[in-house]
Amino acid sequence: MMNDLLLRALKGAPVERVPVWMMRQAGRYLPEYIALRNRYGFFERCQTPALACEITLQPVDIIGVDAAILFSDILVVPQAMGLEVQLIENKGPVLPDPIRNDKDLQRITVPDVQDRLHYVFDAIRLIKQELNGRVPLIGFAGAPWTLLCYMVQGKGSKTFDEAKAFCYTQPELAHRVLQMITDTTIGYLKEQIRAGADAVQLFDSWGGLLGPADFEHLSLQYMRQIVAAVKDEAPIVVFAKGAWHALGAMAATGAQGLGLDWCVPPEMARQLAGNKTTLQGNFDPAKLLSPIPVIQKEVKQMLHDFGRERYIANLGHGILPNVPVDHARAFVDTVKNYDFNKHD
């Protein structure tokens, strides 16, 4: 591996400089991606290894990030478990027959991931070949709680109130679904690693919708199983947006990395997480809409506050579709050029 900064940071090994990548960097804002989006459907892009490979490599070639992240979506897992998933342009995901009762559970299974998700592993093998050791490849999956949100609500939501009502009124069913997602995800991530993923990330995008006790029951106990099953095969980063209260408990899972959103101050995150975990984050994605000098100034402050060791620079959530490409590049270049000895 020519540039293994990300993997060294996840091990807690010394680094010459902080590695940087951006959540949701593959797709969304790059004109080269939008050209492909106009020609192929969403799942066609995911299921065709040559397209997934091309999109995965775009931010490496165009922006110069220190890691590639597989182009796919967290919702390929509910799809492989038996649910129909549609992606409606400018609207987001729709699952027309969501899970609401015990009869609906008969429509989902823990699938053979080799059979149902082989296209992901084919894409990973192709991407590894094309990357040719330039930077590490990150695989990923949605956390069980976040996937349940979509599988029950049937679409995106600010509150995911139907998903929460399902868990609060039919807890036994909810836990059965969460365990099925967990078992599928363990097999899925292990196969991603076997196909060549150098690290994996678990996205609990809606973890912050739960209070601390519910987060433990409905999210963390399942993520703990996934981390335990995967962490000795490849480093794993847990990103639970809004669940800063559980940083200590998430560090105790043994995950090599913890993703942070922009609402938690660096010093507080370090205090809660302890010194054995690498922190990743946490620039406000909307701040990339600021003038470039403001981006540069605030990125330097973020780097100063996190420090060089056990740290990966990233955004606090996915990059927004309307971010100008030169602003994304300014974010990445500022991290790459920062000199910790100069305190600039």
Active site residues: 24, 28, 37, 73, 150
CA-wise closest residue to 83 among 72, 94, 71: 94
> From residue 73 to residue 92, what is the string marking binding to ligand 1CP with x (rule CB under 6 A)?
xxx-----------x----x
69 vs 273, which CB is nearer to ligand 1CP? 69
CA distance 111 to 109: 6
Least spacing, CB of residue 332 vs ligand 1CP, in Å = 14
Query: Among residue numbers 157 through 216, which ones bind ligand 1CP (CB under 6 A)?
Result: 203, 205
Q: Could you say whether residue 125 binds ligand 1CP (CB under 6 A)?
A: no
203 vs 311, which CB is nearer to ligand 1CP? 203
β pairing state of 311-315 and 86-88: unpaired
Q: Is 92 helix (H, G, I), strand (E, B) or coil?
A: strand
Sign of CA dihedral 255, 2, 65, 298: positive
74 vs 83, which CB is nearer to ligand 1CP? 74
CA angle 339, 276, 253 (to 5 degrees): 135
37 vs 245, which CB is nearer to ligand 1CP? 37
CB-based contact 84:95 (threshold 8 Å): yes
At a CB cut-off of 8 Å and minimum separation 6, what does 53 contact?
71, 123, 126, 127, 130
Least spacing, CB of residue 24 vs ligand 1CP, in Å = 4
Residue 85 structure tokens: 């998933």
Other C-beta atoms within 10 Å of 126: how many? 18
Least spacing, CB of residue 321 vs ligand 1CP, in Å = 8
Q: Could you say whether residue 42 binds ligand 1CP (CB under 6 A)?
A: yes
In the chain, the amino acid numbered 83 is L
Per CB under 6 A, the segment of 66-74, 174-182, 227-235, 331-339 that binds ligand 1CP is: 66-74
CA distance 100 to 58: 39
Residue 202 structure tokens: 């678990």
> From residue 272 to residue 311, what is the string marking binding to ligand 1CP with x (rule CB under 6 A)?
----------------------------------------
CB-based contact 6:19 (threshold 8 Å): yes
> From residue 1 to residue 40, what is the string marking binding to ligand 1CP with x (rule CB under 6 A)?
-----------------------xxxxx--------x---
Distance of CA 15 to the CA centre of its chain: 23
Q: Could you say whether residue 156 binds ligand 1CP (CB under 6 A)?
A: yes
CA-wise closest residue to 196 among 135, 277, 242: 135
When binding is defined by CB under 6 A, the residue of 19, 49, 78, 93 that contacts ligand 1CP is 93
Q: Answer left, alpha or beta for residue 37, where phi above 0 means left and psi between -120 and 50 means alpha.
A: alpha
Q: What is the largest CA-CA distance in the chain?
A: 63
In the chain, the amino acid numbered 225 is Q
Least spacing, CB of residue 339 vs ligand 1CP, in Å = 29
Least spacing, CB of residue 344 vs ligand 1CP, in Å = 30
51 vs 294, which CB is nearer to ligand 1CP? 51
Least spacing, CB of residue 325 vs ligand 1CP, in Å = 15
252 vs 325, which CB is nearer to ligand 1CP? 325
145 vs 338, which CB is nearer to ligand 1CP? 145
Per CB under 6 A, the segment of 68-76, 181-189, 264-272, 302-310 that binds ligand 1CP is: 68-76
CB-based contact 70:49 (threshold 8 Å): no
Residues at the interface with ligand 1CP (CB under 6 A): 24-28, 37, 42, 69, 71-75, 87, 92-93, 140, 156, 203, 205, 318
